[in-house]
Amino acid sequence: MAKKAKTDLAVKSAVSPTIEVDARIAVGMFFTLTGTILAAFGLSTRDQMNVYAKSLGIDANLWWGLALLVFGILMLAFGRRGQIKMDKAGK
Amino acid sequence: MPILASADWLILLIYCFFVLSAGVSLAPAITGSKDYLQAGRKLPGWLCGLAFISAGMGSLEVLGMGAAGAKYGLASMGFFALGSIPAMLFAALVLMPVFYGAVSAPGAPVRSIPEYLGLRFDQKTRALNAVLFTAMALFSAGISLYAMARIVAELHVFDTVADRLSLPPAGALLLAMALPAVLVLAYVLLGGLAAAMYNQLLQFFVLVAGLLPIVLLGLKRVGGWSGLKAADSLTGAAHTGGHSMGIGMVGLVLGAGLVLGGSTWCTDFRLLQTAMAAKNAAAARRAPLVAATLRIFVPLLLVLPGLLAVGLPTPHTTIVIHNENGAIYHEITVVPPAIEAGQGMVPAKADAAGQPVKGADGKPVLDYAMAMPNMLLQFLPTGLLGLGLAALLACLMSGVAASLTASNTVFACDIYQAFLKKDASDKQILKAGRWATLGGILLAFGAACAAMRSNDLLDAVVLVFAVVNAPLFATLLLGALCKRATGHGAFAGLIAGMAAALLHHGLALPRGEQPGIHGGWIKVLHHPASDMALGLGTAALAFVVSLLVTAAVSVCTAPRPEGELTGLTFRSAAESASGAWWKRPETVAAAIILLAAIAVNLVFL
């Protein structure tokens, strides 16, 4: 999903250079990516208690990663909708 | 010694990649000076609002809020709310319509605060403010670079990198200042204000994502609400009695609410530039409202970590003996004396030998700025730690970028075009803006290196702010609200306000400080209760003197004909808008935000 949004953006800016890019897309891409990495890392280290002694025995990577992933996907969804609206208004 | 694992590095690098890509992807869209200096005036209100609040959360502010939480406790929450939200609402309702709507010629809206001053008053006021503002913005950008680099060096997280490159400690510090500076330079040079603001949006969310876990984990660790109250009783509030900053209620409301808040959120072009890049007047008014709504919750994110740091147990050198397969192990955790002498996770300041620095009362002097960063190391596991460090990097970059974009606009419009080359073409202004960006970061870096040599410069930021911004707030207030204020009045008021601020700072010294950068460099006449009280007093005096002198000189000089002031004062700007001001939706929104802010703060009192 993140990749597709990026290519769309690249194509758009090549056709007509404009400042009117919905900023939420980049935010969504960043948090989808980091959320996935954190959650995957948390999943693979969930049995290593020494990693999570700091965070009071909670697998903070997994849970916070999932929360960021959800936030990222929401931002991507809103951003794409906003971008479509903006393009229509531009034409 | 904490070592960053590859998961931390990966997240840090991804963040840097996104920050740079904003600059690269916007670069082709920058074709004229309006695109570069004002983001084309095409951005939606919510984006401007997020950039507005993010620009006001540079490294000095973020570290300062954590430090205030550790030093003054819960009382500082109300202080920060009072110092921001009323001023932001005032900016939204009264000042933004004037600043955004003012035009220098048909179709040429005002690009900066000095340009507004030039239109409303005269060219000498504009020139004075343009020069002072540029100097202040670049100086504080440099100081914030150094402040964050010092913290990062104290955390020792990048020591393995410095060792591998076999850098001396000073070299590692220099690298920690240079890398963020180069990143910011790259994206501001490429994408201008638009890139800075797109990144400020990302920076706001990264700050929340990196710091919210330490608040949640910290609260769980100290045992929730009761633990928070217990931590609060360990802060300065318990020792001094009454209000912990030593400022009376009236002083707090007038000083923080009116002067400090007003000269930040209503005056500082580093913040106002984001709202002035909005696509229309409604969006420009909405930006401070969006920012104020979020600002209600910012102290929860930034003050609480500092406060919680005080409530945690102080680390001590421990020896754990354990028996494994018949062999006896002595596990010794050595804690440096400066950390042992601290309070909770707030270490004492260390001298060159690593021993704690003692104050005049024999107690160790605490390094409050370390409170929040230490919490990152305390609670964030490998992986999240990368995101936490990205949050520190984010607040540093958003503040430095705001200074850089503001000073390049002021240089290009109000120094280059206004005085050096009056017939400059748009291409030349764009070029001047880009060169100003490069020159600006070099000057800021020079200030950072100077601060590295003499630590005292860190405390000079408050003074510089009081000298430049507090008198300007009075000027802008009179300029926007009162059509009788004149150019000679404004100029005299600014000069008098600055002189009053310097004089007050030179004659007062907080208790327990040495004369010098903390004050009292002329002669010590009175002793304010704290650094915070001195800063507030200096700013308040500068504001009042500037207000009075501007009014007095304006009355004695000839007024501008009313026709020339169309669109430059609140009344003439409001005439063109529809409906009475108290019926408009933004007024209702402002009232709701104010009530919500009061409710949130009452919970913590």
DSSP B50-96: HHHHHHT--HHHHHHHHHHHHHHTTHHHHHHHHTTHHHHHHIIIIIH
Euclidean distance between CA atoms B24 and B30, whole angstroms? 11
pLDDT at B576 over 80: no
Euclidean distance between CA atoms B34 and B497, whole angstroms? 33
Cβ distance B387 to A38 less than 8 Å, yes or no, reads yes
Structure tokens, B136: 């202040």
Euclidean distance between CA atoms B258 and B239, whole angstroms? 28
Distance from B136 to chain A by nearest Cα, in Å?
29
3-state secondary structure of B437: helix
> Which amino acid is residue B581, in one-letter code?
W
Say which residues have a Cβ less than 8 Å from residue B75's Cβ, sequence separation at least 6: B237, B243, B244, B245
Euclidean distance between CA atoms B79 and B601, whole angstroms? 10
**In the prediction, which pLDDT does B545 show?**
94
**In the prediction, which pLDDT does B582 show?**
65
What backbone phi and psi angles, to 5 degrees, belong to B315? -70, 140
pLDDT at B208 over 70: yes
Distance from B209 to chain A by nearest Cα, in Å?
8
Higher pLDDT, B133 or B520: B133
> Which amino acid is residue B563, in one-letter code?
G
Q: Looking at beta carbons, which residues of chain A come within 8 Å of B222?
A: none
Instruction: Please report the residues numbered 195 through 234 in chain B whose beta carbons come closer than 8 angstroms to any beta carbon of chain A.
Output: 197-198, 201-202, 205-206, 209, 213, 217, 220-221
Nearest Cβ partner of A13 from B28, B43, B202? B28
Cβ distance B29 to A33 less than 8 Å, yes or no, reads no
Percentages of chain B per state (helix, strand, coil), in multiples of 5: 75, 5, 20
Structure tokens, B144: 């914030």
A34 touches chain B (CB under 8 A): yes
The number of beta carbons lying within 10 Å of the beta carbon of residue B591 is 12
**In the prediction, which pLDDT does B369 show?**
84
Length of chain B in terms of residues written:
605
A20 touches chain B (CB under 8 A): yes
Look at residues B257, B199, B573, B239 and name the one whose alpha carbon lies nearest to residue B390: B199
Look at residues B257, B207, B209, B186 and name the one whose alpha carbon lies nearest to residue B59: B207
pLDDT at B239 over 50: no
- The secondary structure element, H or E, covering residue B304 is helix B298-311
Task: Give the DSSP letter of residue B418.
Answer: I
End-to-end, the C-alpha distance of chain A in Å comes to 26
pLDDT at B463 over 70: yes
Confidence of residue A46 (pLDDT cuts 50, 70, 90): confident
**In the prediction, which pLDDT does B197 show?**
92
Euclidean distance between CA atoms B580 and B500, whole angstroms? 39
**In the prediction, which pLDDT does A10 show?**
45
Look at residues B246, B263, B218 and name the one whose alpha carbon lies nearest to residue B91: B263
Look at residues B549, B507, B552 and name the one whose alpha carbon lies nearest to residue B528: B507
pLDDT at B537 over 90: no
pLDDT at B494 over 90: yes
Euclidean distance between CA atoms B10 and B205, whole angstroms? 18
What is the rounded (10 degree) CA torsion for B92, B94, B98, B101?
50
What crossing angle do the helices spanning B384-410 and B169-222 adopt, rounded to 10°? 120
Instruction: Please report the residues numbered 385 through 444 in chain B whose beta carbons come closer than 8 angstroms to any beta carbon of chain A.
Output: 387
What burial letters (b/e) apply to B316-332, b meaning 16+ CB within 10 Å? eeeeeeeeeeeeeeeee
**In the prediction, which pLDDT does A3 show?**
45
A60 touches chain B (CB under 8 A): yes
Contact indicator for B426, B33 with CB cutoff of 8 Å: yes
Q: How many CB pairs under 8 A join A and B?
A: 98
CA angle in degrees (0–180, nearest 5) for B587-B49-B577 = 40
What crossing angle do the helices spanning B298-311 and B169-222 adopt, rounded to 10°? 90
pLDDT at B503 over 70: yes
CATH numbers and ranges of domains, chain B: 6-313+370-455+582-604 (1.20.1730.10)
Residues B544-555, mean pLDDT to the nearest whole number: 92
Residue B205's closest chain A neighbor by CA? A27
CA atoms within 13 A on the CB side of B418: 27
**In the prediction, which pLDDT does B580 show?**
65
Confidence of residue B496 (pLDDT cuts 50, 70, 90): very high
A78 touches chain B (CB under 8 A): no
pLDDT at A14 over 60: no
pLDDT at B382 over 70: yes
Residue B384's closest chain A neighbor by CA? A61
Distance from B261 to chain A by nearest Cα, in Å?
29
Cβ distance A19 to B43 less than 8 Å, yes or no, reads yes
CA atoms within 13 A on the CB side of B540: 17
Higher pLDDT, B575 or B23: B23
pLDDT at A63 over 80: yes
pLDDT at B376 over 70: yes
% of chain B beyond a pLDDT of 70: 94
Task: Give the DSSP letter of residue B278.
Answer: B
Euclidean distance between CA atoms B552 and B532, whole angstroms? 30
Residue B194's closest chain A neighbor by CA? A19
**In the prediction, which pLDDT does B128 show?**
93
Distance from A18 to chain B by nearest Cα, in Å?
5
Nearest Cβ partner of A37 from B10, B25, B206? B10
3-state secondary structure of A19: coil
Cβ distance A18 to B43 less than 8 Å, yes or no, reads no
Residues B456-485, mean pLDDT to the nearest whole number: 86
Distance from B63 to chain A by nearest Cα, in Å?
22
**In the prediction, which pLDDT does B236 show?**
61
Confidence of residue B211 (pLDDT cuts 50, 70, 90): very high
Look at residues B303, B254, B250 and name the one whose alpha carbon lies nearest to residue B75: B303
Structure tokens, B544: 């009042």
Look at residues B496, B497, B470, B475 and name the one whose alpha carbon lies nearest to residue B487: B475
Distance from A23 to chain B by nearest Cα, in Å?
6
Look at residues B39, B40, B50, B31 and name the one whose alpha carbon lies nearest to residue B394: B50
**pLDDT digits over B148-192, tens only?**
888 888 887 777 777 777 777 777 888 888 889 999 999 999 989
Which ipTM value was assigned to this complex? 0.85
Residue B8's closest chain A neighbor by CA? A38
Cβ distance B194 to A51 less than 8 Å, yes or no, reads no
Euclidean distance between CA atoms B554 and B491, whole angstroms? 10
Residue A14's closest chain B neighbor by CA? B28
Nearest Cβ partner of A51 from B26, B209, B382? B382
CA angle in degrees (0–180, nearest 5) for B380-B315-B219 = 45
pLDDT at B27 over 70: yes
What burial letters (b/e) apply to B169-178, b meaning 16+ CB within 10 Å? eeebbbbbbe
Residues B288-317, mean pLDDT to the nearest whole number: 87
**In the prediction, which pLDDT does A8 show?**
47
**pLDDT digits over B246-291, tens only?**
566 676 777 777 888 888 899 999 999 999 999 888 888 889 999 9
pLDDT at B350 over 50: yes
Euclidean distance between CA atoms B403 and B407, whole angstroms? 6
Cα→Cα distances B225→B26, B70, B220, B221, B231, Å: 46, 16, 9, 11, 10
Q: What is the CA radius of gyration of chain A?
A: 17
Residues A56-81, mean pLDDT to the nearest whole number: 88
Nearest Cβ partner of A20 from B42, B209, B383? B42
Euclidean distance between CA atoms A64 and A72, whole angstroms? 12
Contact indicator for B550, B493 with CB cutoff of 8 Å: yes
3-state secondary structure of B346: strand
B508 burial via Cβ count (<10 Å: 0-12, 13-18, 19+): buried
Distance from A54 to chain B by nearest Cα, in Å?
5
Look at residues B548, B543, B514 and name the one whose alpha carbon lies nearest to residue B531: B514
B86 burial via Cβ count (<10 Å: 0-12, 13-18, 19+): buried
Euclidean distance between CA atoms B589 and B92, whole angstroms? 10
Euclidean distance between CA atoms B391 and B64, whole angstroms? 15
Q: Mean pLDDT in chain B?
A: 84
**In the prediction, which pLDDT does B103 show?**
84
Least reliable range by pLDDT among A30-34, B194-198, B524-528: B524-528
Euclidean distance between CA atoms B252 and B259, whole angstroms? 10
pLDDT at B314 over 90: no
Cβ distance B221 to A38 less than 8 Å, yes or no, reads no
B525 burial via Cβ count (<10 Å: 0-12, 13-18, 19+): exposed
Higher pLDDT, B510 or B2: B510
Residues B124-130, mean pLDDT to the nearest whole number: 92
**Tokens 């409202």 -> residue:** B289
Residue B26's closest chain A neighbor by CA? A19
Strands, E, within B93-191: which ranges? 103-105, 108-109
Euclidean distance between CA atoms B202 and B275, whole angstroms? 17
Cβ distance A23 to B47 less than 8 Å, yes or no, reads yes
Structure tokens, B319: 């020896």
Among B9, B54, B382, most A C-beta atoms within 10 A, so best to mutate, is B382
Q: Looking at beta carbons, which residues of chain B come within 8 Å of A45?
A: 382-383
